[in-house]
Amino acid sequence: MTKASASDNDVQTGHEQAGDAQVTPARMVWNSVRPWHVAVLAALVVAALGFRIWMQPKDYQTALLKGHYGTAERLLLPIAEAGDMNAQNALGNLYYVGLGRKQDFDRAAKWYLKAALAGNGNAMINISHLYRRGLGVPKDNLRALAWLTHARSANYEASEKQIKWHSVRLQMSISQLMYVRETYKTVRSLDPDYRPDDR
């Protein structure tokens, strides 16, 4: 049969290599690792990643409640682009507050405006706030007041208090209030791209 030399045994077990080399605790651990250890560790990593993917929220409301703002944005975008006014307002909120991303008033205004033009009262209040402060849109107190009056017409009580504040605090004259009433009779007239001859 074959003779096993002392050096062959050392290589096979991995213990006494290089003569006087000191065996460190790290080398002892590494030498005790078996292929099945690696397989078990890999299986645990794959299972953990799979569980994480499986646990991702499937709808934007759940994603928002759980604080998964990137997932919420990814789920909201196609729904908002399809014209859902509630999704458009929610997407505007993500951009306005800066949840999971940097604040982006231009994008917030875009989505609030779409939702408000579709008749969402909360979005009407939100876009009014942006016009009043000049965030993402040009500052325009008259247009802001007009959005609030349309929100009130849509039975959003939250707008009533803001209308009072807006007209009193900003000391709007009767002629300005009349201008708002006459110029912005419809929600469509508040669209920045609206032309009176459009039918």
Confidence (pLDDT) at 104: 97
Domain ranges of the chain: 58-190
Confidence (pLDDT) at 194: 86
Tell me if 126 sits within 8 A of 89, measured CB to CB. Answer: yes
Confidence (pLDDT) at 7: 47
Helical residues (DSSP H) of 20-140, grouped into ranges: 25-32, 35-54, 60-66, 69-81, 85-97, 105-117, 121-133
Q: Dihedral (C-alpha) 140, 142, 148, 153: value to the nearest 10 degrees?
A: -140
d(CA 148, CA 186): 12
- Give me the count of residues in the chain: 199
d(CA 92, CA 164): 25
- Separation in Å, CA 110 to CA 46, 64, 117, 152: 40, 20, 11, 21
List average pLDDT for each run of 10 residues in the chain, which is 199 residues long: 48 48 68 66 63 63 87 92 96 93 95 96 93 95 90 76 74 85 91 76
Token representation of residue 137: 């849109």
CATH 1.25.40.10 fits 58-190, yes or no: yes
Helices 141-153 & 121-133 angle (0-180, nearest 10): 170
Helices 85-97 & 105-117 angle (0-180, nearest 10): 160
